Structure 1
Amino acid sequence: MRKILTVGFDADDTLWQNEAFFRLTQAHFVDLLSDYATSGHLHDRLLAAERRNLGQYGFGIKGFVLSMIETAIEVTQGRVAATVIAEIMAAGREMLDHPIELLPHAQDAVVAAARDHQVLLITKGDLLDQERKLAQSGLGDLFHGVEIVSDKTPEAYTKIFARHGGVAERALMVGNSLKSDVIPVISVGGHGVHIPHGEPWALEYAEPPEASHPRYHALPDLGGLSALLGALHNGNTL
């Protein structure tokens, strides 16, 4: 087994809380439009809008807010009140202003990994928002490099690892999303570590690899990462 030289960390819902704020805002959105459609219908229409708009708006809060406004216009057939649009926009600003809440073991995991590995933050979403969250997290100085990308594809990972002087075969990526953080890295020869957190966003759902896959690892939280890295270094698995 080739020694792991690079460890990549996802940001949202891996190092700090994120999806929970989207769900709270979506619940408020449903309340605002409860006179026009049922909760289930609004969830379905909003998800369809988000899926439709990803190519234009990308991932993140701003695209989410625009999709909510679009959905509000659609389900009300253009009759949505300006005050409702204003509340949706205010909810988006509140999300952007929300203080960062680090998840358990986040700082310790990055510090420990950085002792013997190059550590990278690899995240997707809005550039300004991700930079804000990283600055507020207090973790910025721990990383040897930061990559904020529009999407996490196998090709993107290959380019990122090469840009930082490495190869995918000697890299490990840690994240809460099987679709974005684990499967693409495994597909190009690296290791993927899945650390689930809460209920995943529907557009990030993917079936996990076979549990016996030698480069797929699952941990309950970041507290077990250091032991996993040590085991891989010694040619073992946990």
Structure 2
Amino acid sequence: MRNLTTIGFDADDTLWHNERFFKLTQARFAELLADHADPDHLAERLLAAERRNIGQYGFGIKGFVLSMIETSIEVTEGRVPAEVISQLLAAGREMLAHPIDLLPHAAEAVAAMAESHRVVLVTKGDLLDQERKLAQSGLGNLFDAVEIVSDKTPDRYRAIFERHGDGAGRAMMVGNSMKSDVVPMIEAGGWGVHVPHDLAWDLEHAETPSQAPRFRLLGDLRGLAELVEEIG
């Protein structure tokens, strides 16, 4: 009997680029508000707004834009010009329309796993945007199931891999976020594989579970097939 029967993949910054578009938009945000706040202070205020608003807006571009608008109102004490709001909304629409750019080895890794295991996409974010990105990626037909969730927790992983596999104990989650993809999957009883991306959202940081027997680190997705074969 196999130790692993189901492989879960994160999407954003694991299979395709995502965070760099947030960074570019945040740089534009700093330019627009340069007369009211220095970039570091503005970044702190924006991060605080995002943390505060996750429970209401969830993860994704729409919540990010709303948090930028809220922050612009705060730092200008309600005097933010309508043109700035308009440009922030336009930036959000550009992000929502940006074409998908797959990361190196992503397509090959998913295809290789699909030949021998059940593969499940588990991603956070706005439903419509995540569906758009998956459709444009060309990878959609490789997945046996797609789960777009509001958050990633041990209980959520247990439910997902019970529904689409043989339970979390015989599943692996592969992703760039230690906080969302690795730690909660290990706590659920599964394997957590960290594939770092050079950009990471501040709210996705967590301590590395280096002593956990089911933690693995890969430099990129090229080594995934060998790792899965090793685990068995």
Q: Is the 8 A contact 1:21 1:95 kept in 2?
A: yes
Deviations 1:177-228 (A, max 9, x none): 0000000010111000000001311100001012x43200000000000110
User: Root-mean-square deviation (CA), in Å?
Assistant: 1.0
1:165 offset after TM fit, Å? Answer: 3.7
Structure 2: unaligned runs, 5 residues or longer? none
- In 1, Cα distance between the equivalents of 2:188 and 2:212? 14
Q: Find the aligned partners of 2:165 and 2:223 in 1 and give their Cα distance.
A: 27
1:236 aligned residue: none
CA distance in 2, matches of 1:103, 1:119: 18
SS at the partner of 1:91?
helix
Contact 2:53 2:63 in 1 (8 A): yes
What are the residue-to-residue correspondences of 1:24-39 with 2, within 5 Å? 24-39=24-39
Alpha-carbon deviation of 1:2? 5.6
**1:112 alignment counterpart:** 112
Tell me which stretches of 4 or more aligned residues in structure 1 moved more than 6 Å.
none
Map 1:134-145 to 2 at 5 A. 134-145=134-145
Residue 89 of structure 2 corresponds to 89
Asked if structure 1 preserves the Cα contact closer than 8 Å seen for 2:11 and 2:122, the reply is yes
Q: What corresponds to 1:227 in structure 2?
A: 226
Give the partner amino acid of 1:127.
Answer: L
**Aligned equivalent of 2:213:** 214
Corresponding residue for residue 3 of structure 1: 3
Partner Cα separation in structure 1 for residue 173 and residue 165 of structure 2: 16
TM-score, reference length from structure 1: 0.96
Alignment-derived partner of residue 172 in structure 1: 172
Distance 2:116 2:140 in 1: 18
- For the 8 Å contact 1:2–1:169, the answer to whether it is kept is no
Aligned length: 232
1:54-102, CA deviations, whole angstroms, 9 ceiling, x for partnerless residues?
0000000000000000000000001000000000000000000000000
- 2:63 is equivalent to residue 63 of structure 1: yes
Flag structure 1 segments of 5+ consecutive residues without an equivalent. 234-238
Q: Percent identity at matched positions?
A: 67
- TM-score normalized with structure 2 length: 0.98
Q: Conserved in 1, the CA contact under 8 Å of 2:118 and 2:165?
A: no
Superposed, which structure 2 residues align to 1:184-195 within 5 Å? 184-195=184-195
Give the Cα–Cα distance (whole angstroms) in 2 for the partners of residues 188 and 143 of structure 1.
Answer: 22
Distance 1:109 1:199 in 2: 21
CA separation in 2, counterparts of 1:102 and 1:225? 16
Partner of 2:200: 200
Secondary structure in 1 matching 2:49:
helix
SS at match of 1:173: strand
- Alignment-mate amino acid for residue 219 of structure 1: L
1:163 aligns with 2:167: no
Cα separation, 1, equivalents of 2:231 and 2:66: 44
